[in-house]
Structure 1
Amino acid sequence: MSKIDVKTKSGRVSGFCDPKFHHVAEEFVKNFEVRGEIGASVSLNVEGETLVDLWGGYSEPDTKTPWAKDTLSLVFSCTKAATALCAHRLIDQGKMELDAYVSQYWPEFAQNGKQNVTVRMMLNHSAGLPAFHEPIKEGGYYDWDYMIERLSAEAPFWDPGTRNGYHLMSFGWTVGELVRRVSGMSLGRYFKENFAEPLGLDYWIGLPEEHEERTARMLPYTPSAEDKPTDFITHIMTKPASIQHLCFLNSGNFQPNCREAHAAEIGGGGGIANARALAGLFAPLANGGSLNGVTLLSSDHIAKMSAVSMATMEDATLLIPTRFALGFMKSMDNRYRSSGDLETAIIGDKAFGHVGAGGSIGFADPECHLGFGYSMTKMGAGLMLNDRGQMLVDAAYTALGYRTNEPGHWVK
């Protein structure tokens, strides 16, 4: 194992790397040198052994505070995978059924055309609840009970189950409330007791205040004059009645960097972690469901939950072709589109995981027993990965003997 300690123009890069994955370390350093990275971490393991664990740059660029080994950051929609895993553990244990009506566990939900919504629809983004028609109250995202009341009364945007549209933030409450109803625990507590603590992960859905000071501030992407806006962004800016506008801007003035947001259990996009935790969460899933004496899920259930469940040429929310498993993203190759470099995240064919706004990612690939995580503080453009994250993923697959991603996923 090689120790890494490199000075870049945006701070130091530290950690360790197996020589086999030296190109991952090189690309990580290059992110700081030429791709505008500010602060970030990357980690990967194979067959349960951590072979890359790197961090670098600044957690706070204004004060030049170094990104430390234990620095945390928002991982946005990577949290959806953690939320989905909570539901899948209950399903795998026989406490909840995929094709049961949601109202079996959450009776108040069966209002305004939602009586036939199933658990499966909640997980594969086909439930028809990607946004809220009426304004969310100020600070509503931080109030679990309020959001559940709103969802119970909400009318779907389409006939549930007939199409899919990414549930940008609502996923955390639709699936999270099922976890709460069935387990009797809040989403954050259930995740902590069944995943984070047994695996020793620094991963939080609802951050305790004592960890606030080591959480990096997310830096929003600043558009340039050369940027070509995606259809999703165009709808947000020009169509106030659209799903895109409502799911993104009807948020009760959600402020992701504030203490209230960090403390709230926002399962659709409020998780706080680092690359080591992202990779660590997926490591057992890449190795049959068990690792180091901890069993999360059965191998049969992993095969079921990671298969493509819903695919479309035009996602009703994102307005791009998407492919989803039951709560997870699959490899999505939209490079042929005019904005394709902003709408693509290429992983292995058997891999499953989730990207987060700005470019973070965590995933498992059972084919090569890979658990992968990348987190950062400077957000990039687009809906999926940007070149900083994708280059790290590409370097990892290349090191594992994969030849090409031309088919839309990495193959050997």
Structure 2
Amino acid sequence: MADLQKDVRAAIDELVESGAERGVQVAVYRRGELLVDAVAGVADPETGRPFTSGTPAYSTSTGKGVTATVVHVLAERGAFDYDTVIADLWPEFAAHGKDKATVRHALTHATGVPGVPVGTTPEDLCDWDKMCAVIAGAAPWWEPGTRFGYHPQTFGYILGEVVRRATGKGISQVLREELTGPLDLDGELFFGVPESELGRLARIEDAAPAMELPEEMLAAIPFFREVDGYTAAPRAALPDAAFSNRTDVLTSDIPAGGTMTARAVARMYDALLQGELVSPDRLRELSSPAVTGMDEVVGGPATWGLGYSIGLVSRPTVFGMVGSGGTAGFADTATGISVGVIKNRASAGDFTTVERIGRILFQ
């Protein structure tokens, strides 16, 4: 481990110098010790502002791991348990046969409500009450608990509303009280970012111009299909750079995503491993495979723990989440290593940088 900082720094320097990345942060913790805190490149290409270890960046679905962690901390506190019926906390959610859906189903993308209306806009996603009402009133695509499929946006609202109904507090407040405050991560890990902090954020850019696919091709991709006017991926609200830099998106609670530093998300996973947030028994449960098989939305095989993808960087003992732009936060129960990889060039679906860091750490 002595050369780990040097090896990671050399890798990200090369990625920036080659033009593959604009700015990158990598942080690695083990048993409370920060082993790697490496950063390269710029946070804002227009001004040349440097990317520092303390520069947060919008990291799309890497934030789902933060949402799941908030849920586990509250479960540890006894606010609810994994088999709590969602409608017991949120009665409106029972509509159209969702009355038996549980918190466990929500964590494993099994509630059957992966979609939002086809015409959903970024402004809609910023309206918490509107989105929760739409999701509560939606008919499930399958009977809750019988199948699973990635819930790109609804994951955050369903679990966030469970948190709100159980505590009377919005999920950003609970995040501050239960995670960022106790772990000394204030200013580095957010759902809704305070306006006063926006000037500190990295500017997101697209790695390449969006590829325009014909509608018939999109319709053939499971992720983009429409079911009774709903879709998992509304065209007007895909998380490209324009979406990720919007002030309203960044300042709103949309906990299917999050804004963070690599250092903060790695520290959060380290706290999970070290028993600072949950018991050893709960850690074993949340990091073990809960569902595995064919994902009804993505259209390929997947394995989920309780809110986390299992098997990232090709290691079965790793749990965490990746973001669509190529970011990641994860932990390895075998080695005790926790990792954050945050960057500001959104390379849609390309996890080359995360995989490269994984090879360095686990070679």
Same fold (TM over 0.5): yes
| Bigger helix fraction | 2
Residue in 1 aligned with 2:288? Answer: 307
Equivalent position amino acid for 2:199 in 1: E
Q: 1:371 aligns with which of 323, 338, 345?
A: 338
Q: Secondary structure at 2:345's aligned position in 1?
A: coil
8 A Cα contact 1:236 1:244, kept in partner:
no
Equivalent position amino acid for 1:259 in 2: T
Distance 1:127 1:250, change over 3 A: farther
Distance 1:25 1:114, change over 3 A: same
2:185 counterpart of 1:185: no
TM-score (norm 2): 0.91
d(CA) in 2 for partners of 1:235, 1:221: 25
Residue in 2 aligned with 1:248? Answer: 233
How far off is 1:242 after superposition?
Answer: 5.5
What do the CA deviations read for 1:332-369 (whole angstroms, capped 9, x no partner)? xxxxxxxxxxxxx4253222110011110001112211
Q: Secondary structure at 1:364's aligned position in 2?
A: strand
How far off is 1:277 after superposition?
Answer: 0.7
Q: 1:321 aligns with which of 301, 312, 318?
A: 301
d(CA) in 2 for partners of 1:244, 1:27: 45
8 A Cα contact 2:219 2:226, kept in partner:
no
Q: 1:82 aligns with which of 61, 66, 82?
A: 66
Q: Unaligned 5+ residue runs, structure 1? A: 1-16, 291-295, 332-344, 399-412
Residue in 2 aligned with 1:276? Answer: 263
Q: Secondary structure at 1:373's aligned position in 2?
A: strand
Residue in 2 aligned with 1:91? Answer: 75
Q: Unaligned 5+ residue runs, structure 2? A: none
2:141 counterpart of 1:141: no
- Aligned residues with identical type, % of pairs: 29
8 A Cα contact 2:266 2:330, kept in partner:
yes
Q: Secondary structure at 1:353's aligned position in 2?
A: strand
Equivalent position amino acid for 1:78 in 2: T
Equivalent position amino acid for 1:391 in 2: R
Equivalent position amino acid for 2:231 in 1: L
2:108 counterpart of 1:131: no
Equivalent position amino acid for 2:147 in 1: R
TM alignment of 1:10-409, pairs within 5 A: 18-34=2-18, 36-133=20-117, 135-136=119-120, 139-201=123-185, 202-222=188-208, 235=220, 241=226, 246-249=231-234, 255-269=243-257, 271-287=258-274, 289-290=275-276, 296-312=277-293, 314-331=294-311, 345-382=312-349, 386-398=351-363
Distance 1:245 1:113, change over 3 A: closer
8 A Cα contact 1:279 1:371, kept in partner:
yes
RMSD over aligned CA atoms reads: 2.7
8 A Cα contact 1:328 1:352, kept in partner:
yes
d(CA) in 1 for partners of 2:223, 2:255: 28
Equivalent pairs counted in the alignment come to 357
Residue in 2 aligned with 1:404? Answer: none
TM-score (norm 1): 0.80
Equivalent position amino acid for 2:324 in 1: A
How far off is 1:307 after superposition?
Answer: 0.8
How far off is 1:135 after superposition?
Answer: 3.3
Distance 1:236 1:59, change over 3 A: farther
How far off is 1:243 after superposition?
Answer: 9.6
Q: Secondary structure at 1:88's aligned position in 2?
A: helix
How far off is 1:236 after superposition?
Answer: 5.7
Distance 1:136 1:96, change over 3 A: same
8 A Cα contact 2:27 2:38, kept in partner:
yes
Q: Secondary structure at 1:322's aligned position in 2?
A: strand
Greater relative CO, 1 or 2 (CA 8 Å, sep 6+): 2
Distance 1:252 1:234, change over 3 A: closer
d(CA) in 2 for partners of 1:278, 1:224: 28
